[in-house]
Amino acid sequence: PHIVALIVAAGSGSRVGGDIPKQFRVVNGRPMLAHSYATLSKHGEIGTVVVAIGDGQDGLAKDALDGLPTPVLVQGGLTRRESVHHGLEEIARQGGADFVLIHDAARPFLPESVIDDLIRALDTSAGAVPALPVVDSLSRGDDMLSETVDRSQLWRVQTPQAFHFDAILDAHRSWTGEEPTDDARMLMAKNGKVRIVPGSERLSKFTFSTDFAGNDMTPTIRSG
């Protein structure tokens, strides 16, 4: 199959703070974006890697990806959903694809085995996501706990999320719901089946400034 990847890196990173957006901050010796870009662009089954970046970030992105295969850059949008949609339309303009892997730049450490599992899962479903079981107790409450939630069927869903390209493009073109937190949700709204493959703690998202402290070996573990 013809497989392309799309990394969304157009967020402002406002929860992290600092003077450059988090996706361009250095973690483990290279800009965050460069980690997943390198992994995806050197994967044997993936052709083009498209990167959605914010207004005026061309220079930052080119510097961050210096020495790697030249990226296809597209302008992101005001929300993550819009950034993904812009990327998908660019892929469509370039002739489309069989499969697309959509990934957050904020998850720099991407195990190759996750990519392999996702691609394989697309043989039997229109979508696939890496996910981890919830290990903490989950409770509802205000300032006092009121109810414990059964966690046995709950998952922490990560990226990359992999899809049959035409199905996810259609889901984006016709989306009218509230702002979704991921693309799997959008495929499911069109009755597309999304398979779960094993996720990885290494894939955790960098969200807060504390995530950047002491990340020489692994990121601070934080879901969301």
By CB under 6 A, tell whether 5 contacts ligand C5P.
no
With tokens 């504390």, the residue in question is: 210
The secondary structure of 127-152 as a DSSP string is EEEEEEE--S-EEEESSSEEEEEP-T
Whole-number Å distance between alpha carbons of 214 and 149: 33
The DSSP letter of residue 107 is -
By CB under 6 A, tell whether 52 contacts ligand C5P.
yes
Which amino acid does the sequence have at 97?
A
- Note whether 82 and 183 are within 8 A (CB): no
- Note whether 216 and 204 are within 8 A (CB): no
Using CB under 6 A, pick the residue from 39, 41, 83, 158 that binds ligand C5P.
Answer: 83
How near is the Cβ of 80 to ligand C5P at its closest, in Å? 4
Using CB under 6 A, pick the residue from 3, 4, 5, 11 that binds ligand C5P.
Answer: 11
Draw the binding track, 187-206, toward ligand C5P (x: CB under 6 A; -: no contact). Answer: ------------------x-
Which amino acid does the sequence have at 142?
D
Q: 149-168: which residues touch ligand C5P (CB under 6 A)?
A: none
Q: Which is nearer to ligand C5P, 14 or 191 (CB)?
A: 14
Q: Which positions touch ligand C5P (CB under 6 A)?
A: 8-11, 23, 52, 76-80, 83, 104-106, 205, 207
